[in-house]
Amino acid sequence: MIKKEPSMDAQKDLLAGYFARLGRAKDEGRPVVYTFVPGNLVELMAAFDVAPVYPEVNALQSAMRQRSSGFIREAERGGHSEDVCSYVKCDLGMLAKGNVGPTGDTIPPPDLLLLSFTGCFTFMKWFELLREQYDCEVAMLHVPYVGDGVVTAAMRAYVVEQLQREVIPKLEKVTGKRLDLDKLRAQLARSRQAEEDLAWVFKSARHRPSPIDAYFGGVYYIGPIFTSFRGSEDACRYYAMLRGEVEERLAAGLGPITPEGSLGDEKFRLVVEGPPNWTSFRDFWKIFYDEGAVCVASTYTQVGGTYERGFRHDPANPLESLADYCLSCYTNLPLPQRSRILADMVKEYEADGFVIHSVKSCNSFSAGQLHMLREVERLTGVPGGFIESDLVDARYYGQANIKNRIESYLQMLHARRTGGSVPPPPRPERVHLEVVP
Amino acid sequence: MTTTQPTIEALVADLEARFDDVDLGHVRAWKDGARHRLAVGCLPVFAPREVIWAAGALPVFVRGAGDRIETIRGDAYYQSYICHLPRSTLELGLLGHLDVLDGMVFPNTCDVIRNLSGMWQTSFPQHIVRFLDPPQTAEPASAAAYLHHELTTLFRDLCAHNGVEPVPARLHLAIADYAAANVVMRELAAARQREPWNLPVDEVYLLKRAADSMPPRDWADLARRYLAAAAARGRKPEDRIRVCLVGSFCEQPPRALLRAAEKAGCYIIDDDLTLGVEPNGPDPLLGDDGDPMAAIVAAWLRTTRPSAVRYDEHGTAGRILAERVAAVGADGVVFAAPSFCDPALLDQPRLTRVLDQRNIPYTSFKYAENTGQFQAIREQAGTFADSVKLWGTA
Ligand code: SF4
Ligand code: SF4
């Protein structure tokens, strides 16, 4: 029996409470707002006391409960191509089947569709499809891509203006309330506090052994702050509790918690780029911890905010701060910067290697990752590993293939460390994703 | 003095030679023709042609290599589930075919092109690389201010690079040059709808692709010559259905595929293959403030033709497609999208729902720019054409 840390139960309670509150939202007269995770405006939404829904979260939760395949097939029957993002199809399939969410509760329809369009073009297409389904208010926030790696004053001003002229008026319309700037500031101050603790937790992986797994554990850590809880008292409590637990693990010299208990022997320290697979999340994780591989840093945990790289919300400049947050999310950054972030993390966390997990669904992450692989190798002198699957489409997850690739990659890292001569895993000249029947 | 009208064969041969010249020799020749001339590559779909041209730079649309070169190195940069365009574009660059270009503009067409912009920065440091994220917001004032700023920055940067002054007069001239080209583009669209038997899709396509990399007035002259020669053909209409081709706005289908679809019984009378060089709404019109950049911005934001890469603010793309089908007198729609193209493929169900409601027949298939097998597509297009002819439905 694995000993659970209190923060795990706390997070479970948070999530259950969220879905329960969502279920009551209509009865309690709280408007429901559908929005996306990266670049979300949760503090602003909370200032209006609306109930946010994140379709990606529903998709990943459905996948973890093995329900996504049916939804994807449903969307494909409805005319959607096998080629396109499976998050979109999972959501549309779920909608076609009555919009019953991952916990079995029906997700209420939106009063406002709020597209904060950060870091992914497909969001826009997804949003257009969702809008067809609902007769409700729509607000679009176009967050420009930071193509040259610099957030310019013009970009910030553009986002702020849209907040003032488009997003806030729409929120005021659906709620019948005026924006309370003090309330927003208070939310942002609490966000900052939780961000401080979360960043500390991620930075703890610089120690040996690392007390956390910043990828497989990290996806749990980011759950509350990437979604509805940023800016809430609950989030502050959760992150303080998490930090306390990690401090204890650190003091005790313990490794990260895995589904099979604490990892005893940290053999490899890895940095990971790309989202995880959700349909076989546990099996995927096991491949790593079975080999004593700990993920000491990851980029996926920065898609909803680059906290460990220093971003903090700023209550003194609320709208500008929201703009900066949207602009600086990881997938809104250009590839050279993403490569440098990876390279910096390899150095900062003294990683033995880095692994790119490329997912079929996500062009935002995946297009160009083989280039990043070469770039990070060039910048660090460390060889990288490359594996492929999908987010929520189980047809594209091949356990044996991924296990094989990770094991040979780790062997190569081991040989490198000990001066042995295991050749590097073959560089994919042309990569083929195998569809698992 | 008498001028001899070129034969249509000679014109088409010239267009073909331009198309096949992956080294862009005609762009090189243009640049060498005078001082202060640059050439700037533009990825699909929309690029600020007037702004680039005003800076003394020839906009050159780079729409992948199609099947004109074999993609080997570019493939090593992309997983199998990414479309083909970025691979062949990289291949063109890596093999030096794009050496004539001084820079590249990457519009935010999708995440693949977006990410390619970063790869370009690292791989081709000699190029000025600019990413352009045209506003997708429904909020017009902030959109206009932002786009004005972005285009002004681009204009100034290109002018500085080219050693010319970024004066408004340059923008005025560029607007007039493209307005002249747009007049002929509209004539071309009308002529092909009127007499598709005299303007086969392959030739129209080559002509529009020539617009990808020609000074606008030169292209307008060439297009007028082609229109005159095509009209003089005097061919007889055949028993084919008339279709709009939708979804091929970025990665291009092989020419042989277009020919196959037409031979199978369809006249392609309208397409979205080269949206960036076509008028997609009214031309820029100078406002009271006399600011030509503001006119370019306003025209950009007023685009009336929906496309999968522009936010469909009112959810009207399906209705507008259906109206377009009616306006051009098409019998149906052929959806042809590149494999793994999220924008095109995610649009299709929204569009087909409206076509279904209005009983407009359609068929759909996917391709890659280097597809070599057309049998299945030919058969599908043939069956589609037959069933529309017989029953008026697919
Ligand atoms: S493409 Fe990627 S970021 Fe965009 S919706 Fe799909 S999974 Fe999310
Ligand atoms: S073909 Fe589609 S996915 Fe590929 S680059 Fe073009 S728009 Fe993007």
Question: Which residues in chain B are contacts of A138 at CB distance < 8 A?
Answer: 138
The Å distance, Cα A202 to ligand 2 centre, comes to 36
CB contact under 8 A, A334 and B112: no
Q: Is residue B213 part of a domain?
A: no
Structure tokens that stand for B197 in this block? 């038997």
Expressed in angstroms and rounded, the spacing between residue B309 Cα and the centre of ligand 2 is 10
Q: Do A83 and B366 touch (CB under 8 A)?
A: yes
Q: Does the CB atom of residue A92 touch ligand 1 within 6 A?
A: no
Tokens 């093995």 correspond to A66
Q: Do residue B150 and residue B249 come from a single domain?
A: no
pLDDT of the residue at B372: 86
Q: Please give the residue range of the domain that contains residue B56.
A: 21-167
- Kindly give the number of the ligand 1 atom that is closest to the alpha carbon of B342: 1
Q: Nearest to residue B293, comparing CAs of B174, B211, B133, B162?
A: B174
Closest to B199 measured CA to CA, from B174, B160, B227? B227
User: For residue A429, what pLDDT is reported?
Assistant: 45
Spatial distance between the Cα atoms of A36 and A27, rounded to a whole number of angstroms: 24
Residue B85 CA to ligand 2 centre (angstroms): 7
What type of residue is B39? A
Give the separation between CA A256 and CA A277, rounded to whole angstroms: 20
**Which residue, B118, B148, B167, sits at the end of a domain?**
B167
Q: Is the pLDDT of residue B393 over 90?
A: no
Q: Is A336 on the interface with B (CB under 8 A)?
A: yes
Residue type, B298: A
Q: Is residue B137 a part of any domain in this protein?
A: yes
Whether B350 sits inside 8 A of A430 (CB atoms) is: no
> Higher confidence at residue A8 or residue B216?
B216
Residue A132 domain-assigned?
A: yes
Residue B193 placed within a domain: no
Which residues of A are less than 8 Å from B150 in CB distance? 154
**Distance of alpha carbon B18 from alpha carbon A434, whole angstroms:** 40
Choosing from B114, B140, B167, the residue where a domain stops is: B167
> Do B339 and B252 lie in a common domain?
yes
Q: Which residue has the tokens 């809008």?
A: A131
Residue B130 corresponds to which tokens in the numbers above? 């600019």
pLDDT tens-digit readout, B105-148: 999 999 999 999 999 999 999 999 999 999 997 788 999 999 99
Residue A200 is predicted with a pLDDT of 98
In a domain, B63, yes or no: yes
* The pairing of beta strand B266-271 with beta strand B241-246: parallel
Q: Residue A136 pLDDT more than 60? A: yes
Which residues neighbour A120 within 8 Å (Cβ) at sequence distance 6 or greater? A36, A38, A331, A362, A364, B111
User: What CATH number should be reported for the domain holding residue B155?
Assistant: 3.40.50.11890
| ipTM score of complex | 0.95
Instruction: Assign 3-class secondary structure to chain B.
Output: CCCCCCCHHHHHHHHHHHHHCCCCHHHHHHHHCCCCCEEEEECCCCCCHHHHHHCCEEEEECCCCCCCCCCCCHHHHCECCCCCHHHHHHHHHHCCCCCCCCEEEEECCCHHHHHHHHHHHHHCCCCEEEEECCCCCCCHHHHHHHHHHHHHHHHHHHHHHHCCCCCHHHHHHHHHHHHHHHHHHHHHHHHHHHCCCCCCHHHHHHHHHHHHHCCHHHHHHHHHHHHHHHHCCCCCCCCCEEEEEECCCCCCCCHHHHHHHHHCCEEEEEECCCHHHCCCCCCCCCCCCCCHHHHHHHHHHCCCCCCCCCCCCCCCHHHHHHHHHHHCCCCEEEEEEECCCHHHHHHHHHHHHHHHHCCCCEEEEEECCCCCCCHHHHHHHHHHHHHHHHHCCC
pLDDT at A231: 97
Q: Which two tokens stand for residue B344?
A: 């095109």
- A70 contact partners, CB below 8 Å, separation of at least 6: A93, A97
Domain boundary among B132, B167, B202: B167
Block residue for tokens 């009865």: A27
Integer Cα distance of A259 and A252 in angstroms: 19
Helix (H, G, I), strand (E, B) or coil at A347: helix
Nearest chain A Cα distance for residue B90, angstroms? 11
- Mean pLDDT taken over chain B: 95
**What confidence tier does B4 reach under pLDDT thresholds 50, 70, 90?**
low
Q: Is the Cβ atom of A268 under 6 angstroms away from ligand 1? A: no
A46 with A27: CB under 8 angstroms?
no
The single residue listed with the structure tokens 């356990």 is A399
Q: What is the mean pLDDT of residues A55-76?
A: 92
d(CA B338, CA B16): 23
**Ligand 1 binding pocket includes A364 (Cβ within 6 Å):** yes
Q: What is the DSSP string of A177-208?
A: ----HHHHHHHHHHHHHHHHHHHHHHHGGGSS
What integer pLDDT is reported at residue B276 of this predicted model? 95
**Phi and psi of A117, rounded to 5°?**
-90, 80
- What is the C-alpha to C-alpha distance for residues A173 and A395, in angstroms, rounded to an integer? 43
Q: Judge whether A420 lies within some domain.
A: no
Question: CA B243, CA B360: separation in Å to the nearest integer?
Answer: 11
Q: What is the Å distance from ligand 1's center to B220 Cα?
A: 42
Question: Is any atom of ligand 2 closer than 6 Å to the C-beta of B266?
Answer: no
- Name the pLDDT band for A104 (thresholds 50, 70, 90): confident
CA distance A205 to A225: 19
CATH code, domain with B373: 3.40.50.11900
Residue A58 has pLDDT above 50, yes or no: yes
A430: confidence class by pLDDT, cuts 50, 70, 90: very low
pLDDT of A51 over the 90 cut: yes
Q: Which of B99, B156, B159, B106 is nearest to B130 (CA)?
A: B106
B111 part of a folded domain: yes
Chain A residue with CA closest to B133: the answer is A144
pLDDT at A400: 97
Place of tokens 């790696």: A149
Query: For ligand 2, what atom is nearest to the CA of residue A363?
Result: 3
- Would you state the pLDDT for residue B289? 83
Question: Residue B115: CA atoms inside 13 Å, Cβ hemisphere, count?
Answer: 29
Short-list A407, A300, A416, CA closest to A357: A300
Question: Lowest-confidence range among A251-255, A425-429, B131-135, B293-297?
Answer: A425-429
Q: Among B118, B130, B347, whose Cβ lies nearest the Cβ of A125?
A: B347
Q: Ligand 1 in contact with A130 (CB < 6 A)?
A: no
A434 touches B: beta carbon within 8 Å: no
Residue A436: the pLDDT is 44
Do B57 and B71 meet the contact criterion of CB atoms below 8 Å apart? no
* Ligand 2 site-directed mutation target among B42, B63, B77, B83, most atoms within 8 Å of CB: B83
Is A216 within the bounds of a domain? yes
Per DSSP, the residues of A206-274 read: GSSS-SS-TTTTHHHHHHHHHTTTTTSHHHHHHHHHHHHHHHHHHHTT---EETTEE-----EEEEEES
Start-to-end CA distance of chain B, whole Å, equals 55
Contact B354, B348 (CB under 8 A): no
Q: Provide CB contacts within 8 A for B93, sequence distance 6+.
A: B120, B123, B124
Cβ(A58)–Cβ(A101) below 8 Å: yes
- Same domain, residue pair B27 and B161: yes
B156 CA to centre of ligand 2 in angstroms: 29
Domain containing residue A168: 6-414
Q: What is the pLDDT of residues B192-225, one digit of tens each?
A: 999 999 999 999 999 999 999 999 999 999 999 9
Q: How many structural domains is chain A composed of?
A: 1
Place of tokens 């904060």: A116
Phi, psi of B106 (to 5 degrees): -110, 105
Residue B153, burial from CB neighbour count under 10 angstroms (0-12, 13-18, 19+): middle
B343 Cβ below 6 A of ligand 2: yes
Q: Considering only CB atoms, which chain B residues are within 8 Å of A327?
A: none
Q: What is the mean pLDDT of residues A3-32?
A: 91
- A361-376 per-residue burial string, b: 16 or more CB within 10 A, e: under 16: bbbbbbbbbbbbbebb
* pLDDT at A437 exceeding the cut of 50: no
Q: Decide if A141 touches B, using CB distance below 8 A.
A: yes
Neighbours of A332 (CB within 10 A): 25
In a domain, A434, yes or no: no
B146 and B265, same domain (yes or no): no
Q: Whose CA is nearest to atom 7 of ligand 1?
A: A362
3-class DSSP assignment, residue A389: strand
Chain B within 8 Å of A133 (Cβ-Cβ)? no
| pLDDT computed for residue A421 by the predictor | 64
Q: How far is B138 from chain A (nearest CA, A)?
A: 7
- Order of all β-strands in the sheet with B241-246: B266-271, B241-246, B332-338, B362-367
pLDDT surpasses 80 at A335: yes
**pLDDT over threshold 50, residue A25:** yes
Tell me the nearest-neighbour CA distance from B177 into chain A, angstroms.
Answer: 30
Same domain, B260 and B392: yes
Distance A274 CA to ligand 2 centre (A): 21
User: Which of B130, B132, B342 lies at the smallest CB-CB distance from A122?
Assistant: B342
Is A428 part of any domain? Answer: no
C-alpha A136/C-alpha A111 separation (Å) is 5
Asked if the structure places residue A227 within a domain, the reply is: yes
Strand partners for A422: none
Angle at which helix A399-418 crosses helix A281-289, to 10 degrees, equals: 20
CA dist B243 and B248 (Å) reads 14
Summarised one tens digit per residue, pLDDT across range A341-385 is 999 999 999 999 999 999 999 999 999 999 999 999 999 999 999
Closest Cα to residue A56, out of A298, A362, A267? A362
When the pLDDT of each residue in chain A is averaged and rounded to a whole number, the result is 94
Same domain for B391 and B244, yes or no, is yes
What does the angle CA B342 – CA B347 – CA B350 come to, to the nearest 5 degrees?
145
Q: How many domains does chain B have?
A: 2
Predicted pLDDT at B288: 76
- When pLDDT is cut at 50, 70 and 90, the band that residue B3 belongs to is low
Q: Which atom of ligand 1 is nearest to the CA of A122?
A: 4
Residues B244 and B127 in one domain: no
Residues 159-188 of A with CB under 8 A from B: 161-162, 165-166
- How much of chain A, in percent, has pLDDT values that exceed 90? 88
Considering the domain architecture, whether residues B393 and B257 belong to the same structural domain is answered as: yes
Q: With CA atoms as reference, report the closest residue to A32 among A174, A179, A225, A230.
A: A174
Residue A289 CA, ligand 1 centroid: distance in Å:
27
Positive/negative CA dihedral, A141, A369, A396, A404:
negative
SS3 A385: strand
| H-run or E-run covering A282 | helix A281-289
Write the burial class of residue B239 (CB in 10 Å: 0-12 exposed, 13-18 middle, 19+ buried): exposed
Q: Which ligand approaches the C-alpha of residue B82 most closely?
A: 2
Q: Find the mean pLDDT for residues B273-285.
A: 93
- Residue A83 in this model has a pLDDT that exceeds 60: yes
Q: How far is CA A234 from the centre of its chain?
A: 20
Q: How far is CA B141 from CA A182, B144, B303, in A?
A: 27, 5, 16
A401 touches chain B (CB under 8 A): no
The answer to whether residues B250 and B123 belong to one domain is no
